[in-house]
Amino acid sequence: MRLALAFAAALFAAGATPAAAAPPVKIGYAISMTGPFAPAARTQLNAYRLWADQLAAQGGLDVGGVKRPVKFIVYDDQSDFAKAPQLYEKLITDDKVDLLLAPWGTPFHFAIVGVLEKYQFPVVGNSAASVTIRDIKPGNIWFTTSEIPDRMAAELVKFMKKENVKTVAVNTLQLPFSLEVKKFLMPDMASAGLKVVVNDDYAPDVKDMTATLTKIKAAAPDAVLSLSYPPDSIIFIKEARQLDIKSPFQLVLVGPTDYLFTKMFGANLDGIVTMGHWVPNQPKWPKAKAFYNAYMKKYGEPPDYLDSALAWMSIEVLQQAVKTAGLDKAKIRHAISTETFDTIDGPVKFKGVENVITPTMFLQFQKGRPQIVWPGSDATARFEPKPEWTK
């Protein structure tokens, strides 16, 4: 009996240094590290790597109440949609991972849905947004974003009406997400009585927007909506400043939340409105600041307020689900589908595949920092008309 007790004590002692005892939990993902999407996928990858660091420092992952060491298995999908399902299948069948993190971007999320369904493997998605996510059969994938184009268009129109916008110029990149936003925006603006004075689309390899922006300048609308991605968002901001477009409401869809924009434009980013539903200084979200600080410490620059935050939310959801459900797929699925999760972006709860708690928000840069300016219930600052561009 005494021997048995001593044995048990020894076991507990071993449990305190978990790396020695339990087999590691294998966590896998594939993301674009090379190829054309690698620059955009970077801030999500950074969040994943930060998590790996934190787990190592904390001595592992809490699996149903037991701390276990982790091992990450990571592949590069080479920015190829076709590779993503192969790699996720390999992770599941060959590497036999216990948990999966999502790839970067809407098309990659869609590409792996079939594999997840086939192996009944639950994944918390993040950097994907499209109304078509609602067509996916719920059960093995969920999306943390609240920036679904139809919800976003409706909120943006309400936001513009509140700021007394009457005339709008729209300049849209011809890629699925921006076109989808525009598709919902145009009828919403029409029924709200907003007048569209310039309406141009442009191809992804654009190098100059002078023609469109000269038209916008002449039309002097109350709002300019640049439905753009980072490379062309940069062209828009540079050329809007160059032409001194004075519209008080200027939205740049994707890009400004990446720290690159702060470095490149400094004070000229002030007043720019962009999509996003997270900032570190929202007092309602106590975890937000800690994430910001940890990211800042590891990378020496702020996280992307969009993709890094979404990635972190998906990690938090998975981590909390595994804490209660362990590694059993059915139990994880049940936990994710039913529980409410406490994240850096406030509570998250899924209905079908969609995050139904987090509202669609808009950010605006003010004095070099992003603030939530819409909706009023979550705002950290009031909307300010775009200040003059610097000379």
H or E element that contains 251: strand 249-252
Cβ–Cβ under 8 Å, residues 270 and 371: no
Q: In angstroms, rounded to a whole number, what is the distance separating the alpha carbons of residues 62 and 162?
A: 46
CB closer to another protein out of 179 and 327: 179
* 25, 27, 30, 41: residue in contact with another protein (rule CB under 8 A): 41
| Residue 186 token pair | 């145009």
Q: In angstroms, rounded to a whole number, what is the distance separating the alpha carbons of residues 283 and 380?
A: 9
Q: Does 39 bind another protein (CB under 8 A)?
A: yes
Q: In angstroms, rounded to a whole number, what is the distance separating the alpha carbons of residues 101 and 28?
A: 6
CB of 31 to another protein, least distance (A): 11
Which of these segments, 106-114, 205-213, 283-291, 377-385, binds another protein (CB under 8 A)?
205-213
Cβ–Cβ under 8 Å, residues 350 and 142: yes
Binding-residue pattern over the window 237 to 266 for another protein, x denoting contact by CB under 8 A? -x--xxxx-------------x-x--xxxx
Q: Find residue 367's DSSP bridge partners.
A: none
Sheet containing 99-100: which strands, arranged edge to edge?
70-76, 25-31, 99-100
Q: In angstroms, rounded to a whole number, what is the distance separating the alpha carbons of residues 250 and 271?
A: 7
| Residue 328 token pair | 């059993």
| Residue 1 token pair | 């009996």
CB of 215 to another protein, least distance (A): 6
CB of 322 to another protein, least distance (A): 30
User: How remote is the C-alpha of 22 from its chain's centroid?
Assistant: 33
Binding-residue pattern over the window 266 to 295 for another protein, x denoting contact by CB under 8 A? x-----------------------------
Binding-residue pattern over the window 53 to 92 for another protein, x denoting contact by CB under 8 A? ----------------------------------------
* 207, 300, 367, 377: residue in contact with another protein (rule CB under 8 A): 207
159-178 positions binding another protein, by CB under 8 A: 174
Which residues contact another protein by CB under 8 A?
Answer: 32-36, 38-39, 41-42, 174, 198, 200-203, 205-212, 214-215, 218-219, 230-231, 234-235, 238, 241-244, 258, 260, 263-266, 389, 391
